[in-house]
Amino acid sequence: MTTALNIIIFIAAFFLQTTFLPRFNVFGLVPNLLLIIVAAFALYGKTYESYVYAFVAGLVLDTLFGGPYGFHIAMFMAVVFAASLFSGEEDTEAPSQLGIIFTAVASLLFYGILWLVVGFGAKNFTLNGGVFSLEEAGVTTLFALIILPLARRLFQFEKRAAEVRRVQ
Amino acid sequence: MKKVSFLIFFSILIIIFSLLFFRSKGSFSSVDSGITRIFSPVGMVFSNSTGGIRSFFTNLGNIGNLQKENANLKDKNNQLEAEVARMSADIKETESLKRELGFKNDSGFNTIPAEISFFDPTNVRETVIVDKGKNQGVKTNMAVTSEGTLIGRVTEVYGNSSKILLITDPFSAIPAELTTIDATGLVQGQVGMGLVINQVPQETDLKKGETIVTSGLGGQYPKGLILGTVENVNKQNNSIFQSASLKTLVDFKSIERVQIIKD
């Protein structure tokens, strides 16, 4: 996809994540839209570009909000790194199920680690942190079921368009 | 390819640790302020519009209950009018006593109005960013209210924006007291579960609907600010203290405007 469109997608996702979704939460749960977008870019887009977007998105979130500084950067970068191990460069033919399973696992780890890193401790993790992580990962995966196939289509479309341009 | 990817990831990790180090030394305040300044105005537009949409749908869903609620409110209003008449005489007497004893009058706080720009995206921490900062006279640890209810305190201040830690955050703890009985407790936030009051002595007769206010202990929050009402009491015979979940008087996800208490 073009750089301008990528930036627009990230900015829109950021504002939706920080203004819209907290107000329209699903039973108090807020899906992690930015994590889904980072995963989509990492799975179907260019790896280097994904690192840049993940870094910038993480930096903005870490700067604006509470919690340990660098957490979002590290987690988003780790998502890109893990995705680069599972899928190839611009692998738009990879099955959608792979992306959804990847996002589900990534969001589960994201919230689990966040719970521990924020300082709630491992003592009550099983009862509270585990349930919370499962719930948040669940709602994030539900959103990923809709967003990832759409993102994959977009990347496929842009990849074909780029090939046509190259042939011409 | 994967080797290069790993190298990038590794170098980014080094950058993150460097960022952490410099931030801990306080070298990033201008970067923080800059990013907040860029994003705050757009965030406020989004936040305000979504707040309006949410209110519309909430009202639409409740339309069936409105008639019943209206009748109840009329009855309550009549009762309150009678009560106001009785209390106005009491207020005169109380004010005179307060002046005499040198107590600071809790009402009439000097406040700074502000609007919410962003909510915390993780749903783990409960923080918001507002559009007023150092340039408008905001300082750290100032108490923040909305619709007469305490909602949090200022934790970080930038040029034209500030970060507020909401009372529903798990790391928030506020010394509180009951309005009708002479008893104290500690109001704390819980992840996804709102507010609870802990450390209330077992012998205290906690009742549903009881109003909980700040006690002013510790000096971080002014005395007498409303925190919420008791919802479910959790009393265990083998414990020294009891706890209760609280119902907040404002919907924290619908708040658009807040008042930052200057003094």
Q: Pinpoint the alpha helices (H) of chain A.
A: 3-15, 33-44, 47-64, 71-86, 96-118, 130-167
Which of B78, B101, B124 is the C-terminal boundary of a domain?
A: B101
ipTM: 0.77
For residue B155, what are its two tokens? 């934790």
Q: Which residues contact B226 (CB under 8 A, 6 or more apart)?
A: B148, B149, B150, B211, B212, B213, B249
Nearest to B121 among A34, A47, A89 (CB): A34
Q: How far is A30 from chain B (nearest CA, A)?
A: 6
Residue B26: inside a domain? no
Asked if B256 has any chain A CB less than 8 Å from its own CB, the reply is: no
Residue B212: inside a domain? yes
Contact B51 A25 (CB under 8 A): no
Q: How far is CA A85 from the centre of its chain?
A: 16
Q: Chain A, 85-124: which have a CB under 8 Å from a chain B CB?
A: 85, 89, 111, 114-115, 118-120
Residue B233: inside a domain? yes
Contact B43 A67 (CB under 8 A): no
Contact B13 A74 (CB under 8 A): yes
* Closest of A29, A31, A36, A30 to residue A9, by C-alpha: A36
State the total domains in chain B: 2
Q: How far is CA A32 from the centre of its chain?
A: 7
Q: How far is A143 from chain B (nearest CA, A)?
A: 15
Contact A66 B191 (CB under 8 A): no
Contact A78 B122 (CB under 8 A): no
Q: Chain B, 61-100: which have a CB under 8 Å from a chain A CB?
A: none
Q: What percentage of residues in chain A have a pLDDT greater than 70?
A: 92
Nearest to A60 among B16, B17, B35 (CB): B35
| Average pLDDT in chain A | 83
Q: What is the pLDDT of residue A99?
A: 86
Judging contacts by C-beta atoms under 8 Å, the chain A residues touching residue B188 are none
Q: Which residue has the higher pLDDT, B263 or A155?
A: A155
- Domain holding B69, by residue range, is 62-101
Asked if B22 has any chain A CB less than 8 Å from its own CB, the reply is: no
Count Cβ atoms below 10 Å from residue B74 Cβ, excluding itself. 10
d(CA A89, CA A41): 10
Range B142-145, long-range pairs (CB < 8 A, 24+ positions): B142/B260, B142/B261, B142/B262, B143/B220, B143/B221, B143/B222, B143/B225, B143/B260, B143/B261, B144/B114, B144/B258, B144/B259, B144/B260, B144/B261, B145/B111, B145/B225, B145/B258, B145/B259, B145/B261
Q: Which residue of A has its CA nearest to B24?
A: A69
**Which fold would CATH assign to domain A3-167?**
Arp2/3 complex 21 kDa subunit ARPC3 (1.10.1760)
* pLDDT single digits (tens) A100-118: 899 999 999 998 888 887 7
Q: How far is CA B92 from the centre of its chain?
A: 31
Provide the CB-side half-sphere exposure for B51 (13 A, CA).
19
- Backbone φ and ψ for A30, nearest 5 degrees, come out as -115, 120
Q: Which residues contact B192 (CB under 8 A, 6 or more apart)?
A: A28, A29, A132, A135, B123
Judging contacts by C-beta atoms under 8 Å, the chain A residues touching residue B194 are none
Residue B110: inside a domain? no
Quick one: CA dihedral A52, A57, A60, A65, positive or negative? negative
What CATH number does residue B229 fall under? Answer: 2.40.10.350
Contact A47 B5 (CB under 8 A): yes
Which of B49, B79, B101 is the C-terminal boundary of a domain?
A: B101
Q: What is the pLDDT of residue B164?
A: 92
Residue B86: inside a domain? yes
Contact A15 B46 (CB under 8 A): yes
Q: What is the pLDDT of residue A1?
A: 61
* pLDDT single digits (tens) A43-97: 888 888 888 889 888 888 887 776 677 888 888 999 999 988 877 777 777 777 8
d(CA B28, CA B22): 7
Q: Which of A21, A23, A108 to mutate to test the interface with B (most CBs of B within 10 A)?
A: A23
Contact B35 A63 (CB under 8 A): yes
Which of B49, B76, B101 is the C-terminal boundary of a domain?
A: B101
Model-level pTM?
0.71
Judging contacts by C-beta atoms under 8 Å, the chain A residues touching residue B17 are 70
Asked if B5 has any chain A CB less than 8 Å from its own CB, the reply is: yes
Judging contacts by C-beta atoms under 8 Å, the chain B residues touching residue A26 are none
Residue B93: inside a domain? yes
Asked if B39 has any chain A CB less than 8 Å from its own CB, the reply is: yes
Q: Tell me the pLDDT of chain B (263 aa) as tens digits.
A: 556 666 766 676 677 666 666 655 555 566 666 666 666 666 666 666 665 666 665 666 667 677 778 878 887 887 787 777 677 767 766 765 565 444 344 547 888 889 888 888 877 788 899 989 999 999 999 999 887 889 999 998 988 889 999 998 888 899 998 888 888 889 988 876 688 998 888 888 888 888 899 988 888 888 888 898 998 888 887 888 888 999 888 888 878 888 898 87
Judging contacts by C-beta atoms under 8 Å, the chain B residues touching residue A64 are 35-36, 39, 118, 129, 163
Q: How far is B247 from chain A (nearest CA, A)?
A: 15
Q: How far is CA A82 from the centre of its chain?
A: 12
* pLDDT single digits (tens) B119-161: 888 777 888 999 899 999 999 999 998 878 899 999 989 888 8
Residue B150: inside a domain? no
For tokens 């899906």, what's the residue? Answer: A31
Q: How far is B139 from chain A (nearest CA, A)?
A: 17
Q: What is the pLDDT of residue B105?
A: 46
Residue B109: inside a domain? no
Contact B47 A19 (CB under 8 A): yes
